[in-house]
Amino acid sequence: MFFTCADLDGCLAEGHSRRVARATSADGTGIAFDSVGDGAAVVIVNGAFSTAADAAEFAAELALAGFRAVTFDRRARAGSGDTSPYAPEREAEDLAAVIAAAGGTAGVVGHSSGAVLALFAASLGVPTGHLFLSEPPFRFGEGEPPADLPERMQALIDEGRPDEAVVAFQLEAVGMPQPVIDQVRASPMFASLVALAQSAVYDATLARAVSTPTDAMLAVAAPVTVVSGAETIPFLRVSAERLAGLIAGAEFVEVPESVGHRLDPAATTRVIAERLPS
């Protein structure tokens, strides 16, 4: 769900500069994005409770490999705006706007709910290039969170209790044990999660809408590589392997360095570099 670097400038490889820009989505929402490096563009789509800055180490690795890494704040996060009403299609439009503003892309790498969004966007015709889907949380009808979770989270936010919305997501969508949630809530990082509570409602809404991939998602024309760590949340590994088996021509790649649902930047970059010209 999270990447590991909170300061993009501090993670940049020597000789590469950060370029900050803004795209305008179809509904007028401003979407902030960064790019670093030169060469073919690769767009990174983060998962829940993460921003463009959290993908900085990954972006730096891609830049070192000769790519132009593009990271962006999904709507309702950090530098990006938010326009009501929300629908998963709006986030697909956000990704399309970023890709267009970046001048096109050779590939999109999505992690967790970002992988779900990337595949969903491709099914709607967004020109994603090669799809790299890291541990997408498809449930395939098994162990689904309560159907009303997004509405209950939104109600908590509207009541001025975004902290409780974050806890509800962690408990019911992620499946964190209560003792772990209590530790997170007592930690300094919890405030940063609360700041992203509204976006978590959108993650929960997206996950509910396409918990089982649609026929269009399984028939995307783009090449697909599904990746998973060897040591991750069990259902995520099962989901990754199952998805790869359902998409014609897709491949499944194990990335042993990715542990605990955390994408390993260097190892994942190697997977991408082996499949994309820089």
Which of 10-14, 63-67, 270-274 bottoms out in mean pLDDT, i.e. has the lowest?
Answer: 10-14
pLDDT for residue 12: 46
**Tens digits of per-residue pLDDT, 127-179?**
999 999 999 999 999 999 999 999 999 999 999 999 999 999 999 999 999 99
Question: Amino acid identity of 165?
Answer: A
Based on the domain organization, do 194 and 229 belong to the same domain?
no
Q: Which residues are CB-neighbours of 156 under 8 A, at least 6 positions away?
A: 162, 164, 165, 168
Based on the domain organization, do 238 and 154 belong to the same domain?
no
Residue 82 lies in a domain: yes
3-state secondary structure of 33: strand
Contacts 24+ apart (CB under 8 A), 151-157: 153/197, 153/200, 153/201, 153/204, 154/201, 157/197, 157/198, 157/201
In the predicted model, is pLDDT for residue 30 greater than 80?
A: yes
Q: Does the predicted TM-score (pTM) go above 0.85? A: yes
Write down the mean pLDDT value for the chain: 93
What DSSP string describes 46-78?
Answer: --TT--GGGBHHHHHHHHHTT-EEEEE--TTST
Based on the domain organization, do 95 and 28 belong to the same domain?
yes
**Tens digits of per-residue pLDDT, 70-88?**
999 999 999 999 999 999 9
Query: Stretch 215-238: mean pLDDT, rounded?
Result: 96
In the predicted model, is pLDDT for residue 11 greater than 50?
A: no
What is the strand order of the sheet 18-24 is part of? 18-24, 30-36, 68-72, 41-45, 107-111, 130-134, 224-228, 251-254
- The rounded percent of the chain whose pLDDT value lies above 70 is 94
Based on the domain organization, do 227 and 108 belong to the same domain?
yes
Based on the domain organization, do 26 and 104 belong to the same domain?
yes
Please count the structural domains in the chain.
2
In the predicted model, is pLDDT for residue 1 greater than 90?
A: no
